[in-house]
Structure 1
């Protein structure tokens, strides 16, 4: 028996792995940070034998309530991921699984590899409607990739979509993949109509270093990028610095920042009602987008979510608030679950790749509903 995490987005430390029914593990912290919760490892074991894997430091993870009613994911081929029996006792996360094959992967959520990220970027730029722009490099020397979709013109509305500021929230890039596939479909009427009067600026992965390193929430030097939007720097947060610099060049009429939430088993949005300039126009734009998405798909809801900020009390270092205030635009954080959508549970797969991608497609219809009102 052997356990490995020496690959893209791998994260686990082995304490003991001598007996299949007593495998003791620990999740590594993000580099130069106390955040941890993402795990991704490969087990070589005996097929047909139950393996009991205990993550001993789960109770001290960044969001321990996220383990409640959570089920880990497993895959034999890294394409099909399914849920396996998982228990949380308040301190330890215990995964029980009888592998059908000798080698199996386990992960906190379905990984989105850096190789797939590059494939997505280069697939997208094959479209006549898409142009790739290199914004610069990260601290580990990886590329910050921007996809510009639509013919740029000052008269057109500028719609920005960013994903995966927190690298462990891989569902965000799966959503963007679905959004891009629809937006670049020249036989899709919604996409064609949107691109007549709008230009999309899409950053599929805001945190490639953290993604490859197997981090939950931070970049290569332990910076939480979604707390850097007030004063980003090339030393601590080049990812935000480069994107914000480009936003200032293009302007922003709508901003959608895509995330995943460890605890809440729902899809929901969080707005910028706490920013100083929030007004009736802001609220109407938010209501239009939110109501449209809720009418399109039962995967989205507005009953459960974050507490609304009091007027003037927004955290202005967070992307949604910072961009909403700076550009006086519709600005939303979109959250998805690590667990499942409790309103539409799927015991076998939970919240899955297919559902992420379809929600991305549906987001385009909601953007279509609000686009003409953005200016």
Structure 2
């Protein structure tokens, strides 16, 4: 008489050795897994994580990120929910707990493989696919503006025939992956040949779109810096080939075209809302240009419930703007309507989504709203 042997649970295997991956295994004790996030190379910044778990099926796993409390933005962890996917396409929230500097979350495995990330990733493979797809669209021109320290391309896509020069750029901070999802949404809208908003914009403006300014940091799984630990959004006053070739080539291209409108797209760890930051405090500040910035925000809040103007960053005092930051430098250098768009890692709490939180899809839709508002104000630039 034979009996069916009891299945032996698969051993747990953690891996982050892939495009955009970041995690370090501290210990695996049964179904409890202790981890640490790896610092950006030559930097103390860290917060982005992205890893795969094999052997999860049929187990209730408990994950602990032990060094969360010393991360770049520990205020980002309270009320945060990790993102989880079993197919790397759909990313849902999973509840997390933060106490004593440790971030914890659980997962009951229905599949052998599962991926966890700080936010829905946008890898370099996805970036390359986006560039290849968009470069073939009617009216689109592709330029390689320069290369990174690791030798990767800085891609720029240009479309439109109007005299106004609009620059859209993202991922100076590579861990802010929602920014490139926003870029995908913007490019899809700008290449929609049936859309009347797009037609109006392209007749009045030429768009220069840099979807990813920090390919090295993206591939390496960094939060905030490039291959040599440099925060690109503190390099705009004096970029160099040695430290920040990414900024140097983009700023040189801006100098060649001029800039009337600029949006630098980011993500914010702590504030559970979408908002824009401006250029208060630049030496050449005028109330007239400042009003155009405030008007853009008010219009965007009317356009979509996924934007608000109450929460955001403080304003620099007159004459005290940090000109090493792109929004300030571009406003001062070109007299442009320049702004930083910040999206949350948590959720836009005024219009929250329990299952997905702030998501890739909502980031793309917000890009559509931003372009619709730009169409309303383009004649005033």
Q: Same fold by TM-score, threshold 0.5 exceeded?
A: yes
Residue in structure 2 matched with residue 198 of structure 1 by the alignment: 205
Residue in structure 2 matched with residue 140 of structure 1 by the alignment: 150
Matched, 1:361 2:368: yes
Matches of 1:2 and 1:296, distance apart in 2:
46
Superposition pairs of residues 1-375 of structure 1, within 5 angstroms: 1-20=12-31, 22-151=32-161, 156-374=163-381
Matches of 1:362 and 1:11, distance apart in 2:
32
Matches of 2:95 and 2:58, distance apart in 1:
15
Shift of 1:300: 0.3
Q: Structure 1: any 5+ residue segments left out of the alignment? A: none
Matches of 1:96 and 1:253, distance apart in 2:
48
TM normalised by structure 2 equals: 0.96
Q: Choose 94-103 or 334-343, whichever is displaced more.
A: 94-103
Q: Secondary structure at the match of 1:221?
A: coil
Shift of 1:107: 0.2
Question: Which protein has the larger Cα radius of gyration, Structure 1 or Structure 2?
Answer: 2
Matches of 1:8 and 1:139, distance apart in 2:
17
Which ranges of 4 or more aligned residues in structure 1 deviate by more than 2 Å? none
TM normalised by structure 1 equals: 0.97
Shift of 1:64: 0.2
Shift of 1:18: 3.5
Matches of 1:46 and 1:25, distance apart in 2:
16
Shift of 1:129: 1.7
Matches of 1:116 and 1:4, distance apart in 2:
20
Report if aligned partners of 1:85, 1:95 keep a CA contact under 8 Å in 2.
Answer: yes
Report if aligned partners of 1:59, 1:90 keep a CA contact under 8 Å in 2.
Answer: yes
CA RMSD of aligned residues (A): 0.9
Report if aligned partners of 1:258, 1:333 keep a CA contact under 8 Å in 2.
Answer: yes
Matches of 1:260 and 1:349, distance apart in 2:
16
